[in-house]
Amino acid sequence: MIGVKDRVPTRTMLFRAQIEETPMQEQERCSWEQAATAMPFLAAGQKMAIAAARLNAQALKSVMWYQIEVLGFMQHRFEQNLKLLDDLIESGEYNDAFDVCSVFVENAACEFNSEAGRMATIGSRLAVETASRVRKEADTRIEDIMAARIAA
């Protein structure tokens, strides 16, 4: 029977041994703050990455608002479609069916127009929010650049 000491070393065991044999020296360790002071563009890059993430979150928020609005509208339209079908089933004569369909089309046209207006309102509101966020991020970046130039 092969004992633990007699076992052939695996790649994992060799890798662990290499790591244990070469510890990092204290002077080789560098924190983020030390790197940022030595190379100021790293701090600016981090801030730009955070700003980009915020802009992506704003875009996702916009998409979600549009989806909420569209889904609510589509739910209402599907309910109206079901009501149309029920009215058509209950109508006994051709004239009644024609009246039901014409009222349905008239209401649908009005509702689609009002929904288009709501979508335009949401779009303009989200555009204003995004523009103000971008302006705020740009102002922050300009202040950081000015502070770095003054400090240098």
24-56 per-position pLDDT tens digit: 544 445 565 565 565 555 566 777 788 788 888
Report if residue 35 sits inside a domain.
Answer: no
Report if residue 121 sits inside a domain.
Answer: yes
Number of folded domains that form the chain: 1
Please enumerate in sequence order all residues whose Cβ is within 8 A of that of 134, keeping only pairs 6 or more positions apart, or say none: 55
Report if residue 3 sits inside a domain.
Answer: no
69 close to 119: Cβ distance less than 8 angstroms: yes
Q: Is the pLDDT of residue 130 over 50?
A: yes
Tokens read off for 63: 């998409």
Report if residue 10 sits inside a domain.
Answer: no
12-28 per-position pLDDT tens digit: 555 455 545 444 544 44
> What's the rounded Cα separation, in Å, for the pair 69 and 77?
12
Report if residue 8 sits inside a domain.
Answer: no
Please enumerate in sequence order all residues whose Cβ is within 8 A of that of 32, keeping only pairs 6 or more positions apart, or say none: 42
Residue 135 structural domain: 40-151
Report if residue 63 sits inside a domain.
Answer: yes
59-94 per-position pLDDT tens digit: 898 889 889 999 999 999 999 999 998 888 887 777
Report if residue 29 sits inside a domain.
Answer: no
Query: What per-residue confidence (pLDDT) applies to 133?
Result: 86
Report if residue 82 sits inside a domain.
Answer: yes
109-125 per-position pLDDT tens digit: 999 999 999 999 988 98
> What's the rounded Cα separation, in Å, for the pair 56 and 149?
29
